[in-house]
Amino acid sequence: MKSWCALASLLLAYFCHGTLSCPPLCKCYHRRAEVVCNEVPLTEYPSEGLSMNTTLMTIQFTNITSISEQQLKATPLLQGLHLYSNHLQSLSAHLLRGVPHLNTLDLTGNKLSVLPADVFLHAPLRNLVLKNNVIEKADAEWLPDNSSITWLDMSGNSLTKIPTALLQKLPHLETLDLANNHLEQISMSSLDPLTKLERLNLRNNKLDTLEVSVLQSSRNLTYLFLSQNNLNKLPQNLFQELTQLRLLSLDENQLSHIPAGLLDPLSSLEEEGLDLTSNPWVCDGKVKYLWRWLQKNKKKVFLPETIICARPQSLVGRSLMSLTESELNLQA
């Protein structure tokens, strides 16, 4: 009898201290220390009723508009915080001070525009996702020096530039995603600190060229996405250091020619790893290098037969691969 009473008292104590409680409109999985909240009526971060042992939180498709440092302190052991598709408009300064173990923060699909300085300090973040918000300016003061971040995703915002000072704080970065912004240029030395960078996504921006030295420190780069820009010329030695590159997308740009030797360093391209489609190629004598490179490296090119001549008029619509030396005046 005494043992039964002791067990009942212990269980009551657990419930009274909130160890097995769960906030309204949320589901709690105590064995794996996970909380999931995906109810539209939720308008405030559910800090009341959370177990202090929670290590993973997912809050999605709610009407929450802000999150404060004080609210996150309810879960001091938190390691992953996923806040997809809410209505977040603001984050408090020093947001992560109460979650010193947080390594993943995903804020995809909110309405964030301006973030306070020091917002991502105080936690050993490795993955930071700010995808599909309305951020116009990235700030170096968001992050600590020598940040541990390896994955930074700022795609789908309204960035016109990426500060060199911010990238200097990311020596461990392996993936940088800046797709679907309004970037017009990448500063000459801005990528130099990213010596561990393996994946760079610049798709769907407004780049018209790249400085010859912009990728000189990116020797570990294996995936480079440059499609859907306004690239109309590329420096001859742009890819000189990219001997590890496996995939390169240059489709949907404004390339009419490429300089001789541009693709020669790319010995590690995988099968169909190079996309040159949907460019206005001019099939004249200046296309000699590309034509001969394609003949030797056809397997490395995605749909090589769809690399189409836009000029001259006599060759419009013809596949570059299908042309003969005489049609291109390449006999010499």
CA of 6: how far to CAs of 2, 17, 262, in Å?
Answer: 6, 17, 77
Q: How far is residue 254's CA from residue 252's CA, in Å, rounded to a whole number?
A: 7
For residue 38, give its domain range: 26-134
Task: Please list, in sequence order, all residues whose beta carbon lies within 8 angstroms of the beta carbon of residue 175, skipping any fewer than 6 positions away.
Answer: 150, 151, 152, 153, 197, 198, 199
In a domain, 124, yes or no: yes
In a domain, 129, yes or no: yes
Q: What is the pLDDT of residue 328?
A: 82
Q: What is the pLDDT of residue 313?
A: 94
For residue 71, the domain's CATH number is: 3.80.10.10
In a domain, 71, yes or no: yes
In a domain, 76, yes or no: yes
Residue of 278, 269, 271, 272 lying closest to 250 (CA atoms): 278
Q: What is the pLDDT of residue 190?
A: 92
Q: Could you tell me the mean pLDDT of each successive run of 10 residues in the chain, 332 residues long? A: 41 44 93 95 93 96 96 97 96 96 98 96 97 97 96 98 95 98 93 97 97 94 98 96 97 97 97 97 94 95 96 94 83 45
* Count of positions (residues) in the chain: 332
Q: What is the pLDDT of residue 189?
A: 86
In a domain, 93, yes or no: yes
Amino acid of residue 46: P
Sign, CA dihedral 298-299-300-302, equals: positive
- Exposed / middle / buried, residue 173 (Cβ in 10 Å: 0-12, 13-18, 19+): buried
Q: What is the pLDDT of residue 188?
A: 86
Give the other-Cβ count within 10 Å of 308's Cβ. 19
Where are the extended beta strands (E) located within 71-184?
80-82, 90-91, 104-106, 127-129, 151-153, 175-177
Q: Say how far residue 284 (Cα) sits from the centre of its chain.
A: 38
In a domain, 15, yes or no: no
Q: What is the pLDDT of residue 330?
A: 63
What 8-state DSSP symbol labels residue 199?
E
Q: How far is residue 247's CA from residue 326's CA, in Å, rounded to a whole number?
A: 32
CA of 41: how far to CAs of 63, 88, 228, in Å?
Answer: 7, 14, 39
CA dihedral 261, 233, 163, 96 (to 10 degrees): -80
In a domain, 38, yes or no: yes
Task: Please list, in sequence order, all residues whose beta carbon lies within 8 angstroms of the beta carbon of residue 280, skipping any fewer than 6 positions away.
Answer: 254, 255, 256, 310, 311
In a domain, 228, yes or no: no
**Model pTM score:** 0.91
Q: How many domains, in total, are found in the chain?
A: 1
Residue of 60, 67, 16, 69 lying closest to 44 (CA atoms): 67
